[in-house]
Amino acid sequence: MTDAPLERFVELSAALTGFRASDLWGTGQARAHLDLVLSVCGEGLGARLLAADPDQIGAVLADPDLGPLARNVTVLWYLGQWDQLPRAWRDRHGTSPADVAHVASAGAFRAGLVWPAIGTHAPSADAPGFGSWASPPAAAP
């Protein structure tokens, strides 16, 4: 049985991050990231976010409720860290004990997309081997 909300989250995340859904699944972080998002925004807003159309990402980002969440989801994938949501958003939706700036987990840090995006690997993880740094960098995708 497929986990439809998780699949929708990954499809949306792919549109937000510019990485393929298969890349995101491959990080092993999809479930943990979705759980973190839902723990902050709750089921109601979470359902709205997951119902958003990945092909209309501009509209999602422009939405006063969903936009800040979508930007945080993007940072979460790229850095493995959660940024506290803007004050205006918290004033509208209330605060959550999970909504504090923090690194989601050591694994989330290691799986951050910023590293492959810039042609490298997370510091302290996935070492490329002796002398690799002397080679020309891989061309940007």
Partner 1 sequence: MSDYDVAVVGAGPSGAIVAAELGAAGRRVLVLEAGPAAGRTWAEYQGNVAHYQASAAKVPNSPYVATQGAPFPDVLDITRLEPGGPEGDGGYFVQEGPLPFSSDYLRSAGGTTLHWLGTCLRMLPHDFEMASRYGVGRDWPIGYDDLGPFYERAERELGVAGDVADQEYLGVRFPPGYVYPMHRIPPSYGDRRLAAGLDGRPLHLDGEDVAAVVTSTPQARNSMPNPAYDSHRGYEPVGAVGHRHSGLRCEGNASCIPICPVQAKYNALKTLRRASEGPVEIRTQAVVSRVVLAPDRRRVRALEYIAYDDGAVPAAPERVTADVYVLAANAIENAKLLLHSGAANGSDQVGRNLMDHPFMMAWALMPESVGAFRGPSSTAGLEMLRDGAFRGRRAAFRAEIANWGWDFAGFAPYADVAEAVHGRGLSGRALRSWLARRIPRQIRLGFLLEQLPSPHNRVTLDRRTDGLGLPRPRLHYDLDGYTRRGMAAARECATQVFDLLGAADATAYLPGDPGYVTLDGQGFTYHGSGHVVGTHRMGSDPETSVVDDRQRSWDHENLYVVGAGSAPTIATSNPTLTLAALAFRAADSVLDDLGAA
What binding mask, one character per residue, do residues 26-55 give for partner 1 by CB under 8 A, x or -? ------------------------------
Q: How many residues does the chain have?
A: 141
Binding status of residue 131 toward partner 1 by CB under 8 A: yes
Q: How far is CA 44 from CA 1, 38, 50, in A?
A: 23, 9, 10
Binding status of residue 125 toward partner 1 by CB under 8 A: yes
Binding status of residue 21 toward partner 1 by CB under 8 A: no
16 and 77 in contact (C-beta within 8 Å)? yes
How many Cα atoms within 13 Å fall on the side-chain side of residue 59? 8
Contacting positions for partner 1 (CB under 8 A): 15-19, 57, 61, 70-71, 74-75, 78-79, 81, 83, 101-103, 105-107, 109-110, 113-115, 117-125, 127-137, 140-141
